[in-house]
Amino acid sequence: MTGTERDPDGAVIAKRADSGAPDTGEIRDLARAAGYRVAGEVTQTRKEDPALCLGEGKVDELARLVRRTEAAAVVFDNRLGPYQTYNLGTRLPDGVEVLDRFRLILDIFGQRARTRKAQLQVELAELRYELPRVEAKVSLARRDERPGFMGLGEYDESRERDIKSRISRIREELSQIERDEEDRRERRRESGFDLVALAGYTNAGKSTLLRQLAADLDVDENEGLHPDLDTTAESRDRLFTTLGTTTRRADMDRRDVLVTDTVGFISDLPHWLVESFKSTLDAVYRADLVLLVVDVSEPIEDIREKVVTSHDTLYERNEAPIVTVLNKVDRVPEEDVEEKAAALSALAPYPVAVSGTEGTGVEDLLDRIDRELPPYEHERLVLPMSDETMSLVSWIHDNANVNDVDYGEQVVVDFEARPVVVEKSRARANDLPAVAES
């Protein structure tokens, strides 16, 4: 590499912390997830510099490292204001892109977005990220009466209006998608399905665990495969592998259960970014049961912090029970798992220990799912012998757990099912001619 050529995949990590040693482990993982090669890092413990985030001397050190490594980007594990981003750009070599933590996350989301819903959510988040920056430029230009400052002026005012208009249109389209998905969830429930959602931080192993729980690679909804029902959910050790939702039928004997894997939680996210992806989290909020998956190989302090934050997020809009799943038990000694489970007992009583990779504990988890889901109702219908009755019995077999069917002068069906299925079976039975009393 010579002259001004730069390594397009090279990135230097920068992080400022108010106190303590700055930890760059997660931001390095994020940078690699975005496709960067980490060429080096600069860290500092001090109060934030309003103009540069880091101190001037540390920015000079950062610039020297960028020149030496010929990296094309600097990734901050901090939230940068519009002016900080601009000022840093003037202090770094020409052509070097400055990204903060949230811009990097948006870039990763953009790479992973495959469905219309995911693409809209990414665009909404990007626009909400850009809007305050454009508003700040417009405000400064008006205050100083300098329309040309930093390329500002009428263009930025027009851009501000365009962003607000586009945000409004995206919200309307996402609202329609949410309504369609809620209709789909209700049809699933009416067909006898319980809905279970996997939640947790990125790289907790949710996608790997989904493969262990699943019996089918797709879900037959009698309406074709919906784009969000991705049948090739990946389970590599990679952040944000799952951006949209992936739904599969669980391998259970007594119940028809659909398990949905959703986008992983990320630490230290601003409200506007979480809000942009709230329709993805609806799969969690509207589930009958939530499995909160945590990586038991992490330090107990990190696990506790993530469990607390996850509970705060989930309990805000979710009334379903939450079962904590200690995943990756194959990576730590058994006594460590027991010690961490005991340390979390106040936050997460009776967790289930599993290995999504090896399948250890999956049967115990399936039993726990069965116990925690809303109880089935028992029903016994006495029906006349007719073709219509045979059709109803077939439907009950498809949507309930049938204990016994007695075919005599009348047909007696003994079964257990979700309350909505029991109610629907009674309604269909009442529509049959000459129904005998049950």
Span 58-77, pLDDT tens digits: 999 999 999 999 999 999 99
Contact in structure between 405 and 412 (CB atoms under 8 Å): yes
151 is in an annotated binding site: no
90 is in an annotated binding site: no
35 is in an annotated binding site: no
207 is in an annotated binding site: yes
Q: How far apart are the C-alpha atoms of 374 and 420, rounded to whole Å?
A: 12
Phi/psi for 45 (5° steps) reads -110, 110
Mean pLDDT for the stretch of residues 27-37: 91
Q: Is the pLDDT of residue 285 over 60?
A: yes
What's the chain's average pLDDT? 83
Mean pLDDT for the stretch of residues 181-204: 81
Mean pLDDT for the stretch of residues 186-206: 82
Q: Which pLDDT tens digit goes with each residue over 367-394?
A: 999 899 888 889 999 999 888 999 999 9
- Diameter of the chain measured on Cα atoms: 93
324 is in an annotated binding site: no
CA torsion, points 406, 410, 414, 415, in degrees to nearest 10?
A: 110
Mapping DSSP to helix (H, G, I), strand (E, B) and coil, where does residue 231 land?
A: coil
Contact in structure between 306 and 284 (CB atoms under 8 Å): no
Q: How far apart are the C-alpha atoms of 376 and 28, rounded to whole Å?
A: 47
Q: In this structure, what DSSP letter does residue 6 have?
A: -
Residue 237's pLDDT is: 44
Structure token digits, residue 432: 């049959």
Q: How far apart are the C-alpha atoms of 78 and 58, rounded to whole Å?
A: 15
| Sign of torsion over alpha carbons 252, 254, 258, 262 | negative
Instruction: Give the list of residues 6+ apart from residue 338 with CB closer than 8 angstroms, or none.
Output: none
204 is in an annotated binding site: yes
Structure token digits, residue 12: 């230097």
233 is in an annotated binding site: no
Residue 228's pLDDT is: 33
Structure token digits, residue 85: 């981003």
Q: Is the pLDDT of residue 25 over 70?
A: yes
Q: How far apart are the C-alpha atoms of 419 and 400, rounded to whole Å?
A: 10
Distances (CA, A) of 71 to 27, 36, 52, 341, 415: 16, 10, 19, 43, 66
Both ends of the chain: CA-CA distance in Å? 84
CA torsion, points 91, 93, 94, 98, in degrees to nearest 10?
A: -70
Rg of the Cα atoms in the chain: 27
Residue 275's pLDDT is: 65
327 is in an annotated binding site: yes
194 is in an annotated binding site: no
Distances (CA, A) of 399 to 194, 319, 373, 387: 11, 25, 16, 19
Contact in structure between 296 and 326 (CB atoms under 8 Å): yes
Q: Which pLDDT tens digit goes with each residue over 221-247?
A: 333 333 333 333 444 444 454 456 778
Band (297; pLDDT cuts 50, 70, 90): very high
pTM of the model: 0.69
200 is in an annotated binding site: yes
Contact in structure between 265 and 200 (CB atoms under 8 Å): yes
Strands (E), 28-187: 37-45, 71-76, 97-99
Contact in structure between 357 and 329 (CB atoms under 8 Å): no
- Please give the order of strands across the beta sheet that includes 7-17: 37-45, 7-17, 71-76, 97-99
263 is in an annotated binding site: yes
Mapping DSSP to helix (H, G, I), strand (E, B) and coil, where does residue 134 land?
A: helix
Residue 271's pLDDT is: 63
Mean pLDDT for the stretch of residues 98-122: 84
User: Residue 201 carries which side chain, given as an amino acid letter?
Assistant: Y
Q: Which pLDDT tens digit goes with each residue over 308-337?
A: 888 887 776 667 889 999 999 999 999 999
Strands (E), 263-349: 289-295, 322-327
Q: Which pLDDT tens digit goes with each residue over 339-351?
A: 999 999 998 999 9
328 is in an annotated binding site: yes
Element (H, E) at 193: strand 193-200
58 is in an annotated binding site: no
Band (46; pLDDT cuts 50, 70, 90): very high
Q: How far apart are the C-alpha atoms of 289 and 213, rounded to whole Å?
A: 14
